[in-house]
Structure 1
Amino acid sequence: MTAPVASHRKPKRPRPYSLTGPTARTAATLALAGAATGTALEGTGHAAPRPTPAQVKTEVDRYYQEAEAAAERYNGAKEKARAAEDSLDELRDEAARKTAGLNSARNALGSYATAQYRDGGLSPEIRLALSSSPDQYLDRAARADHMAGRQAAVVERVEHELRGVQQVRTAADAQLARLKDSQAELGVHKRSAEGKLDAAKRLLGELTAEQRASVQDGDAGGGSGGGGAAGAGAGGTDRSTAVRAADRSAARGGVQAPTERAARAVSFAYAALGKPYVWGATGPSAYDCSGLTQAAWRAAGVSLPRTTYTQINAGSRVGRSELTLGDLLFFYSGVSHVGIYVGDGKMIHAPRPGAPVRVAPIDQMPFAGATRPA
């Protein structure tokens, strides 16, 4: 019996269900509505709310504070680089002097060696036998012994000068390495500060002009108008002008400058009102915060270090209830900002880029401490 032959034809697939007429139109409408709803929901789920001006101000202030901290580290690295460069120049000068001394000693040694070579062919006995005068020979022999002693001293001098040159060159190489490290550190802090300032600028750019002005003027405090010696040049206040400015400050704030130097520092700060903030600047046309306080006290004859975290140790610490004119006020946990006290709970400081030197309340920022320069 013959086996049935299997069929090789593919089974028919069921036709897809198709919609026609009103049903199709209804389905299409529902599909489009669903798509639109889905898009709207998706958009709603991912759209971030626009920050309020108050939120922008908080974020911008944080960027500015971080930028200033980086700027103070930059100032410190710059001071280290300058000191390393000065030291390197001194070491190079010293190396040149010692090399000249070494060359001089070598030349003297060469002269002795040449003389010895010329006279070294005859033994002392033969030279005595050939001498017309034994007394003359003995005199020459004595002088030769003396010269030999001087030659030994010259050899010792050459060795000493050579060791000195090698030591100075080793110190110069180490100082050069420190200079390169400081220069690399400068670049890191500069890029950090610039990045923070750019971030703040981008945030401010999202606001309207009116909102931006409100945010930027929010820390105006006592304003930036001139007071005290504002009519005088930043570095040109004389003794009487400084005292009069301090007296006017005292009349406003109810405190007296403890010293004439403090009065002069305060007078300088008043004269700087309205000048722009530029990070890394120490005057006379622009300042950063520590650059201003350093310049103010320099005008009073007191040398302060460059950075906030070194200025806080330059003088005697005072409590907040003991503040008087001229005291340096420090802010933030990292001691990254400084101003100069002018009485009545106010200070003069260089706040940040875009905000000129101005008077502001000391409660504006978290207080970290105060110092009274000597």
Structure 2
Amino acid sequence: MAAHRKPRTRILASSGTAGRRTAVGMTAALASVTLLSQNAGADDKPSLSEVQKQVDELYHQAGVATQKYNQAKERTSTQRTTVNKQLDEVAERTQKLNDARRTLGSYAAAQYRNGGIGPEATLMLADDPQSYFEQNHLMDRLTGRQQEAVKDFRSQQTAANKKRAEATKSLETLTKSQEELRTSKATVQSKLSEARKLLSKLTAEEKARLAAIERAKEAEAKRKAEEAARKAEAERQAELERQKREEAQQEEDAGSDSGSGSGDSGSDSGSSTSQYDKVLAFAKAQLGEPYVWGATGPNSWDCSGFTQGAYKAAGISLPRTTYDQVNMGTKITNKSDLKPGDMVFFYEDVTHVGIYVGNGQMIHAPKPGANVRYESVDYMPFHSGARVL
């Protein structure tokens, strides 16, 4: 009997061992899944350079919308002035029309007192006397003064209707521009909000690194620009000394007439140089001022507002947007041909602009969250330059 007993203890021991192995296996599997999940999450997180690239693209898109906003704002302002003027003209014409209507009414009243309402009085009281005349051929029965009153009424009525039509059309255009203004503003705000959300996901250490990269780039651009300025000034002084020596030699060899002619030529060149100096001096004075989209100074700027302000300091009037500024002066297609004081434009859609200062550097109002600063002209895709002076 005993020989036929089942080895319960061994079976139980075996079952327990298997259970423990299963439990260990499940724990390991769960740990592996968790680790893989964590690794996948880490892999999904964009790198700092990728975040910066995405943010820069959003800022570019915001820049596009900003230029459209500036364009619509300028157009809206102009159209509002036009509409106000036209409405004043409508009011003036309406007043003249009412005066003409009162004149006809006085004639009709006089006729009524003399014999009741006849066809002539009906003609003069009609909303459109000329139309009534065409149907009833009564003009020949009116006096010369009455006929002139009817003609004057018709003329004033035509003019008033024309002014009303012009004002109505302008109001429709103004409404369209105002809608474009609202749309562009909403787009700017949306793109800037997306950029802020991306930046908010960075750790404190990543934000510090990003800020350090920006500061290093700005410092390097400033160093190169200052070095270029010193070099340019040294070359200018050397050129002036050379010109003085040549002029002195010419005076000795050919007399004062030749020297006087050289002086006139130098004066023309000096005038242009003086204007460039004013542009660059203004640009440098704004270093550190914040970028604010749609701003035109005096304490904050967007890119085209900045260039507009700089050239205004030199007595040059520029249009408001990059779309129009790019068509000013002489176009420059090669970066190597740029000279200090030229405007330099970026992106295929011409949505950013700066002021060239030499040695491959510019001063510009870059983007939200940044200040007016030096930057390499290679920082963004080059489009063209413009030499206005």
For the superposition of Structure 1 and Structure 2, which TM-score range results when normalised by the shorter chain?
Answer: 0.7 to 0.9
Cα distance 1:263–1:45, how it changes in 2: closer, same or farther (>3 A)?
Answer: closer
Structure 2 SS opposite 1:165: helix
List runs of 5+ in structure 1 lacking aligned partners: 1-17, 122-144, 228-246
C-alpha distance in structure 1 between counterparts of 2:150 and 2:230, whole Å: 73
The answer as to whether partners of 2:224 and 2:359 remain within 8 angstroms in 1 is no
Distance in 1, Cα, partners of 2:142 & 2:231: 78
Matches within 5 A, 1:1-374: 20-120=15-115, 148-205=143-200, 206-207=202-203, 208=205, 209-217=207-215, 219-220=217-218, 221-223=220-222, 250-251=232-233, 258-320=272-334, 321-373=336-388
Q: Could you give the per-residue CA deviations for residues 236-294 of structure 1, whole angstroms, max 9, x where no partner exists?
A: xxxxxxxxxxx989517869873543332222222222211111000111111000111
Q: Secondary structure at the match of 2:291?
A: coil
Note the alpha carbon deviations across 1:99-149, whole angstroms, 9 max, x for none. Answer: 11111111111112222223347xxxxxxxxxxxxxxxxxxxxxxx99821
Gaps of at least 5 residues in structure 2 are 1-11, 117-139, 240-268
Residue type at the aligned position of 1:118: R
Aligned partner of 2:259 in structure 1 is none
Measure, in 1, the Cα distance between the counterparts of 2:177 and 2:68: 11
Deviation at 1:159, TM superposition (A): 1.6
Kept in 1: contact 2:338–2:356 (CA 8 A): yes
Give the Cα separation in 1 of the matches to 2:303 and 2:141.
69
1: CA distance, partners of 2:234 / 2:187: 40
Q: Which amino acid in the other structure matches residue 214 of structure 1? A: A
Structure 2 distance, partners of 1:339, 1:74, is: 19
Q: Distance in 1 between matches of 2:376 and 2:282?
A: 19
Amino acid at match of 1:151: Q
* Letter aligned with residue 222 of structure 2: G
Query: 2:126 aligns to what?
Result: none
CA-CA distance at 1:98 after TM superposition: 0.7
Aligned length: 316
Q: Deviations over 1:25-71 (max 9, x none)?
A: 33333333333333433443454344333232222222222211111
Secondary structure at the counterpart of residue 217 of structure 1: helix
Q: Residues 193 and 151 from structure 1, CA distance in 2 versus in 1: closer, same or farther, beyond 3 angstroms?
A: same
Q: Is the 8 A contact 1:224 1:359 kept in 2?
A: no
Q: Partners in 1 of 2:180 and 2:216 — Cα distance?
A: 33
Does the CA contact (< 8 Å) of 1:275 and 1:286 recur in 2? yes
Moved over 4 A (4+): 224-227, 247-250, 252-257
Contact in 1 for aligned 2:347/2:383 (Cα 8 Å): yes
> Structure 1 stretch 322-331 or stretch 208-217: which is displaced more?
208-217
Aligned residues of 1:226 and 1:274 also touching (Cα < 8 A): no
* Whole-Å separation in 2 of the counterparts to 1:225 and 1:280: 30
Root-mean-square deviation over aligned CA pairs: 3.1
Question: Aligned-pair distance for 1:212?
Answer: 3.0
Letter in 1 for 2:352: H
Q: TM-score, normalised by structure 2?
A: 0.72
Q: Which amino acid aligns with 2:167?
A: A
1:329-359 Cα distance to aligned partner (Å, 9 max, x none)? 1011111100112233322211112221122
1:225 deviates by: 12
Q: Percent identity?
A: 40
Q: Distance in 2 between matches of 1:69 and 1:269?
A: 23
Listed one character per residue, the Cα deviations across residues 195-248 of structure 1 (whole Å, up to 9, x for unaligned) are: 222222233331424213124335415339998xxxxxxxxxxxxxxxxxxx98
Structure with bigger helix share is 2
Q: 1:319: how far off?
A: 3.9
CA contact (8 A) 1:308 1:337 kept: yes
1:289-322 Cα offsets, whole Å, 9 max, x none, are 0001111222222221111011101222134343
Report the CA distance between 1:90 and its aligned residue. Answer: 1.0
Amino acid at match of 1:181: K
Residue 249 to residue 299, structure 1, CA distance change in 2 (3 Å) = farther
1: CA distance between counterparts of 2:172 and 2:180?
12
* Letter of the 1:83 counterpart: T
Moved more, 262-271 or 248-257: 248-257
**Counterpart amino acid of residue 251 in structure 1:** E
- TM-score for both structures, normalised by structure 1: 0.75
